[in-house]
Structure 1
Amino acid sequence: MHNMSIVSRLRARAAPLPALLLMLLLGLPAPAALARVDAAANAPAPTPTQTLRQLDTQLDGVKAALQAAPKHPLDKAALADLRTQALQVQDAARQLATDLAPQMAALDAQLAVLGPPPASGGAPETAAVAAQRRQLNHQQADLNAQIVRAKSLNLDALQVVAQITGLRNDQFQEQLATRTNTPLASAFWHDQRQALPNDLARLQRLGGRWSDAWQAAWQPPNRRPLILCLVAAVLLLLGGRWTLAQVWHRVVLRVLPDGHLRRSATVLAMALITTLVLGLVAQLVHQAVNWGDALDDDLDAMARSAVHAISFAALMAGLGSAMLAARHPSWRLLPLADDVARRLHRYPWYLGGAAFLVGITERIVRSIGSSLPATVLLHALLALLVSALIGSVLLRVRHARRQREAQGGNEVRRSLWVGAASAAAALGVVTCWLAVFTGFIALAFFIAVQMLWTGLIAASLYLLTELARDAFDALLSPHGRSGQRLQAGFDLDPQALTRTALVLTGIARVLLALAALALVLAPFDANPGELVQRTLQRFSGLKLGQLTIEPATVLSAIAVFVIGLMLLRLFKRWLGESLLPTTHMDAGMRESVVTLLGYLGGVLVFALALAALNVSLQSIAWIASALSVGIGFGLQAIVQNFISGLILLVERPVKVGDWVSLSSDVEGDIRRINVRATEIQLWDRSTVIVPNSQLITQNVRNVTLGGALGRVRFSLPLPLDTDPERVRTIMLDALTANPATLDTPAPAVLLDKVEVSAMSFLAVAYVRSPRETSGVQSDILFDILARLRAADLPLSSSQSLVVRRVDGAPAKPAAELPTPP
């Protein structure tokens, strides 16, 4: 019997793995059970004192069973049941202490309102206040005693759980190290011959009990339900998978977008459909035989174990077949060639059948109380069967790869994890066979069961990670319907959606990998429900200073923070696009208001998240003091720029859209004022990031501050013999004729200076904005040159060239050079 409990690990883990719908259908309560549940729901809730008394009694029973263990040894099932009871006591005690804490806080608040009791010799308080104080003190003492008792019970239960875990680990190590006779020795088969008659007799008695149960189920009161359930099971077995698959294909074509999500979702659906159909078939057969309670408790437990084993085997077979997709290569998730998939398409069913044999054999062995030699033989055969199937899979894949290489075909490149998994499986197969033939059959059987379990977890992990990636890619794709709706609704950038999809995919992969690792490395005989319970307990009650960290509070704080940021983004968008444009604020002022409110909203959301995390004001002050030390050493510049940014937004010496010029030869338009720096776009469309502190501490020229006008000013030189009044009239007409110049201040043309060879005219005009200066000046200059050319007024006088001879001959006048226009 020492090898039996290894299979219980597989059975304990197998029950939660099928779909939740299947488990609900497999565990529907009877009407009598529902009536008991209703009666229990209508019963009054126990008081804290009654709850503590019940928990003490339950924990004392567990301790008594552990103390009697030396005289009455406990098997793995008994230890698992005691551990479950201790964990229930621990959870109930911890929850009770948590529920009583707010009541204690309320009593403390009421006593604080009453104030401290009067000092000795002072004025006495009124009778009503004194009576209320005595009542509150009495309630506080009772409540404090209950909380202390609950905490003590929690610690006591935790110690009991640790003790049981140590016993289970000791038994597990002792079991794996147990060595029996090797199958190669004659003593092994001699023990089998001696135990065989008794085991056959026990097996015949079990068969007789099942025969009697069948006869009872075939009696007239139960015959019709028996036939109907069996007919329904046969119909479901023959056409259930095909019907549900057709329904799924129609639904997926209408609901899911075209892409990889359809493939991964279809693989998951096919695996669940197989599990659901075969599990329902097994459940219908169970209901048919046990319709009139024809099965006793032991036979009913065996039937339920068979249903669970079939469900587990169906999940393994359905998942493997769906991932191989031998008939539909377009659905295949695994990086396998078509010939390899065809070679392996039957093996998921073979492995599922082996898993069923493992589960049902363990239950039969426990029911009939088989001898140790028979149990060892069955476990050896099952270990060899499972390892032989896995080894055959590896050999077929290797043979197909070598055959493809010999034919010169393209080999599908294997990833690192595939090679590592193949090597681990090969090592497990070799170790399993060596352990069987060296007498360590318990170790071999454990390795075989662990390979089945690990393979199922690995396949599920691969499928769920692919499904998570495809789902996030489809939902957050900038080109998909949902992605476009998110962009329109929350004003999101397409790259932000892509980054969000990558981040969420990474988080999902990490969480799934941690869950898979926890399931694979779960303690011996620990089911997933127990694992989740232990994980929650491990992360519950952690303290960071005075802050207690609970998984529920952490999740609620994250939810508050994410939802708060989304609502803040919607509010900023409504404010900047709907409300503020209806006011008389300019664009820069609207941008400043939206930015400031965004900062305040961010602080508020962060404060709400801290409140959801149950962070007190004292903790916030501690965090602020720690941050102040960091600011004092290394964050001075960042804080200075942040405060400067707030000053820029409040005082608004510069705002978005202003044309500024800094002493560092930076000149351009302000495009955005951020938390730390300001973005200035130069004339060449490049952007300069300027720290906010420079805009506060340095000299800044704001060209457009206060609605400043632009001034067009240029000088025009003309020859001395030019008529100045005529030139002044021409230039003034050109200035006033331009539509961009203002009438007030009026344009002006001045005689700026007169030199030996020319005189200069200064033209001045004003435009609405300094940004228009260069363009208007160019237009006016073009117009003036055209007018001067039309009036035959040159910009320079004609020049003469005199040539002198070196020998003293008289010089001859040269031809006059043409006067430029």
Structure 2
Amino acid sequence: MFFRLLRLILVVIVAVFGQPALEASAQAIGHGSAQLIADQTKVIQDLTAKTDGLEKRLGDPDQDDAGLVDIRLQFEDISRAALTSALAFRQRLNDINNRIEVLGAPPAQGEPPEPAIVSNERGALVSEKAEINAVVASAQNLSVRVNGLVDKISVMRSELFRSVITKHYDLNDALSPQAFSDAHDQITGLYKAVSSWLSFALKFKFQAILAATLMALALAAVLLIGGRRLFGRIFEADPTVEEPSYLSRLSVAFWSTLLPTLALGVFFASAVFFFNYYNVLRGDIGTFLNALLTVIGMVFCVNRLTNAVLEPRLPNWRLIPVATGSARWLVGLTTAMALVLGLNYFLSVVNEKMGSPLSLTIARSFIATIIIGVILILMGWLKPFRAEDGSWRPWPAWLRFIAVGLGLFTIAAALLGYIGLSLFVAFQVVVTGTVLVTAYIGFLSARAIGEEGGFADTSVGRWLSENSSYEDTALDQLGLVVSIAINLMIVVVFLPLILLMWGFQPGDIEAWAYKLATGVSIGSMTISFLGILSGIVVFIIGYFLTRWFQGWLDGSVMARGKV
């Protein structure tokens, strides 16, 4: 009797207090979901408004390629944010679907009605699901719209590139006496701008200039002295070696171009950083300085490469067996092309910053392309090989025709008024050619190092053989690892440079790098190149640790155990 009474009391308590608690819990969950819906709706509205503003910017007729890339990157951020907003409801939708499945289908016609609390809960869940689906649909529609705008930007960039390359200019105004007067005015304006800044900086910021210069020079000294001590034997040709191996010549040519150029780039970057840190540079002066340092770096790289490949002072280290006099001519002509192209780039920055007339820009580019075309023809006509009978032999026919053909094409395009096309060809010949040749030499060097016995013939391999317990097999394995590392380094360093030379923007490379880092989806499978690279790095570290442990085990434990 007592237990029956107790059970009755418990039923009454559940009936009285259980339903309000359940309703309160449902209200709390509904309130949380309502807040999530409101927040994500606000996010989608903000993204839509931002998309509308960016779409209006696409209609700007003065929009250049860099601006289009910036807009595309913002569109891609919007697309990712919209998808993230849609994914925010994933857990709640799963909970709703599971709960609806637990509640079951509503009773069919003619069946007994279900309790009101069940039907009310099902109705609330269905209504909430509909609201969530509406927000998710808005996010998906926005993502589809943004993807369409990204495709539109790709088409616009392609059309813009073609219009720049194929645009025809009238040379009458560019070659008129007024152009020379405009050039004189621009040089005068540049001189006044630089002199006024220099006088102000020396008068009011002398200590800052001195500190920034000394810090940059100190870093340059560390790079120069430390680099020569660490890598001197790698990128310096030994004049005492009468017959260096092909691998040694390749390695010296590659590293003597890459390492000093990178060191110079680090020095220039640090100098600009310190000048900006101490607020020394004015806006226009900073732009001029960046352009000037870029020109110096480009000319330096071209000169280092041609000297490394042709070696006018050390014929034994020469990769191309040309005569010494011809080697000097080729180095001089190639450096002159780089200098002309670099000056044209620097003056283009000055023209843009100072608002020079279009005729001056056309005249400057016209003169530069004509000079580069003439130099290409001279290089093609040069007879660099000395035969045994003392006669001079020209380049191979295919190479001679390419050089002369590119020179004639550059000159003809400039004379016909297609300055953009002529300048593009000249830029590809000088800058892209330098990058490709350097990368090709690096690939050849990496392949030679990866061959059997190749790494042992290098200076590093000989040092390891003399100062460690590495055997020939271990050196070959290490050479294979070094070969792979050099190939990866070449791809990472030179591929972005080549893409930039071909008209791509840093934003393009940034977007591709993001996709590679996050993974590329192929069907239901996602490939993460960053994960693959991390695995390779872990393998290399594990390999060296294993070799170290093996050497320690053989030299310490096994030797003492007489094993």
The alpha-carbon deviation at position 307 of structure 1 amounts to 2.9
> Are the structure 2 counterparts of residues 421 and 251 from structure 1 closer, same or farther at C-alpha, using a change threshold of 3 Å?
closer
Show the counterpart of 2:310.
324
Whole-angstrom distance in 2 between the partners of 1:314 and 1:212: 29
Whole-angstrom distance in 2 between the partners of 1:250 and 1:288: 32
Whole-angstrom distance in 2 between the partners of 1:262 and 1:205: 50
**Contact (CA 8 Å) 1:261, 1:471: kept in 2 or not?**
yes
**Contact (CA 8 Å) 1:379, 1:445: kept in 2 or not?**
yes
Show the counterpart of 1:362.
348
Query: Is 1:519–2:499 an aligned residue pair?
Result: yes
CA deviation string 1:718-760 (max 9, x = no partner): xxxxxxxxxxxxxxxxxxxxxxxxxxxxxxxxxxxxxxxxxxx
**Contact (CA 8 Å) 1:199, 1:374: kept in 2 or not?**
yes
Show the counterpart of 1:270.
256
SS of residue matched to 1:115: helix
**Contact (CA 8 Å) 2:235, 2:256: kept in 1 or not?**
no
1:58 equivalent among 50, 64, 68: 50
Show the counterpart of 1:169.
158
2:403 equivalent among 418, 425, 435: 425
The alpha-carbon deviation at position 360 of structure 1 amounts to 0.8
The alpha-carbon deviation at position 439 of structure 1 amounts to 3.0
Show the counterpart of 2:289.
303
Show the counterpart of 2:177.
193
Whole-angstrom distance in 2 between the partners of 1:242 and 1:277: 11
Higher-strand-fraction structure: 1
AA in 2 matched with 1:173: R
Query: Is 1:463–2:463 an aligned residue pair?
Result: no
AA in 2 matched with 1:519: L
The alpha-carbon deviation at position 551 of structure 1 amounts to 4.5
Whole-angstrom distance in 2 between the partners of 1:562 and 1:376: 50
Whole-angstrom distance in 1 between the partners of 2:207 and 2:494: 49
AA in 1 matched with 2:55: K
The alpha-carbon deviation at position 430 of structure 1 amounts to 0.8
CA deviation string 1:675-727 (max 9, x = no partner): xxxxxxxxxxxxxxxxxxxxxxxxxxxxxxxxxxxxxxxxxxxxxxxxxxxxx
1:245 equivalent among 224, 228, 231: 228
Show the counterpart of 2:105.
119
CA deviation string 1:764-815 (max 9, x = no partner): xxxxxxxxxxxxxxxxxxxxxxxxxxxxxxxxxxxxxxxxxxxxxxxxxxxx
SS of residue matched to 2:103: coil
Whole-angstrom distance in 1 between the partners of 2:257 and 2:330: 17
Show the counterpart of 2:167.
178
Show the counterpart of 2:387.
404
> Are the structure 2 counterparts of residues 227 and 349 from structure 1 closer, same or farther at C-alpha, using a change threshold of 3 Å?
farther
**Contact (CA 8 Å) 2:186, 2:356: kept in 1 or not?**
yes
CA deviation string 1:103-150 (max 9, x = no partner): 626853784487353222379699799869967984x66665555444
The alpha-carbon deviation at position 90 of structure 1 amounts to 1.6
Q: Which moved more, 1:347-356 or 1:226-235?
A: 226-235
Quote the sequence identity (%).
Answer: 17
5+ residue gaps, structure 2, are: 1-38, 237-243, 543-563
Query: Is 1:159–2:164 an aligned residue pair?
Result: no
CA deviation string 1:619-651 (max 9, x = no partner): xxxxxxxxxxxxxxxxxxxxxxxxxxxxxxxxx
Whole-angstrom distance in 2 between the partners of 1:231 and 1:558: 39
Query: Is 1:371–2:357 an aligned residue pair?
Result: yes
Whole-angstrom distance in 2 between the partners of 1:239 and 1:535: 32
**Contact (CA 8 Å) 1:267, 1:322: kept in 2 or not?**
yes
1:449 equivalent among 418, 421, 427: 427
Q: Which moved more, 1:473-482 or 1:296-305?
A: 473-482
SS of residue matched to 1:345: helix
Quick one: higher RCO (CA 8 Å, sep 6+), 1 or 2? 2
AA in 2 matched with 1:97: L
Query: Is 1:207–2:191 an aligned residue pair?
Result: yes
AA in 2 matched with 1:400: P
Query: Is 1:225–2:208 an aligned residue pair?
Result: yes
**Contact (CA 8 Å) 1:274, 1:314: kept in 2 or not?**
no
> Are the structure 2 counterparts of residues 509 and 561 from structure 1 closer, same or farther at C-alpha, using a change threshold of 3 Å?
closer
Whole-angstrom distance in 1 between the partners of 2:221 and 2:98: 73
Show the counterpart of 1:781.
none
SS of residue matched to 2:62: coil
Whole-angstrom distance in 1 between the partners of 2:274 and 2:497: 39
The alpha-carbon deviation at position 303 of structure 1 amounts to 2.5
AA in 2 matched with 1:58: K
Show the counterpart of 2:301.
315
> Are the structure 2 counterparts of residues 389 and 284 from structure 1 closer, same or farther at C-alpha, using a change threshold of 3 Å?
farther
What is the TM-score when the length of structure 2 is the normalising length? 0.66
> Are the structure 2 counterparts of residues 128 and 406 from structure 1 closer, same or farther at C-alpha, using a change threshold of 3 Å?
farther
What is the TM-score when the length of structure 1 is the normalising length? 0.48
Whole-angstrom distance in 2 between the partners of 1:60 and 1:66: 10
Whole-angstrom distance in 2 between the partners of 1:263 and 1:368: 47
AA in 1 matched with 2:178: Q
RMSD (CA atoms): 5.4
> Are the structure 2 counterparts of residues 485 and 238 from structure 1 closer, same or farther at C-alpha, using a change threshold of 3 Å?
closer
SS of residue matched to 1:218: helix
Show the counterpart of 1:385.
371
AA in 2 matched with 1:324: L
Whole-angstrom distance in 1 between the partners of 2:126 and 2:293: 57
AA in 2 matched with 1:364: V
Show the counterpart of 1:658.
none
2:381 equivalent among 381, 395, 398: 395
AA in 2 matched with 1:154: S
> Are the structure 2 counterparts of residues 428 and 413 from structure 1 closer, same or farther at C-alpha, using a change threshold of 3 Å?
closer
> Are the structure 2 counterparts of residues 520 and 364 from structure 1 closer, same or farther at C-alpha, using a change threshold of 3 Å?
closer
Counterpart mapping for 1:30-45 below 5 A: none
AA in 2 matched with 1:155: V
**Contact (CA 8 Å) 2:302, 2:434: kept in 1 or not?**
yes
Whole-angstrom distance in 2 between the partners of 1:425 and 1:166: 33
AA in 1 matched with 2:166: A
Counterpart mapping for 1:287-298 below 5 A: 293-298=279-284
> Are the structure 2 counterparts of residues 142 and 373 from structure 1 closer, same or farther at C-alpha, using a change threshold of 3 Å?
same
> Are the structure 2 counterparts of residues 394 and 412 from structure 1 closer, same or farther at C-alpha, using a change threshold of 3 Å?
closer
Whole-angstrom distance in 1 between the partners of 2:447 and 2:441: 10
The alpha-carbon deviation at position 363 of structure 1 amounts to 0.3
AA in 1 matched with 2:359: P
**Contact (CA 8 Å) 1:457, 1:516: kept in 2 or not?**
no
AA in 2 matched with 1:226: I
In the alignment of these two chains, the number of paired residues is: 483
Whole-angstrom distance in 2 between the partners of 1:143 and 1:93: 19
Whole-angstrom distance in 2 between the partners of 1:195 and 1:346: 30
The alpha-carbon deviation at position 223 of structure 1 amounts to 1.0
AA in 1 matched with 2:152: Q
Whole-angstrom distance in 1 between the partners of 2:302 and 2:453: 29
SS of residue matched to 1:293: coil
Show the counterpart of 2:549.
none
AA in 1 matched with 2:377: G
The alpha-carbon deviation at position 386 of structure 1 amounts to 2.5
AA in 1 matched with 2:366: A
> Are the structure 2 counterparts of residues 499 and 224 from structure 1 closer, same or farther at C-alpha, using a change threshold of 3 Å?
closer
Whole-angstrom distance in 2 between the partners of 1:116 and 1:328: 86
> Are the structure 2 counterparts of residues 162 and 298 from structure 1 closer, same or farther at C-alpha, using a change threshold of 3 Å?
farther
> Are the structure 2 counterparts of residues 558 and 239 from structure 1 closer, same or farther at C-alpha, using a change threshold of 3 Å?
closer
The alpha-carbon deviation at position 376 of structure 1 amounts to 1.0
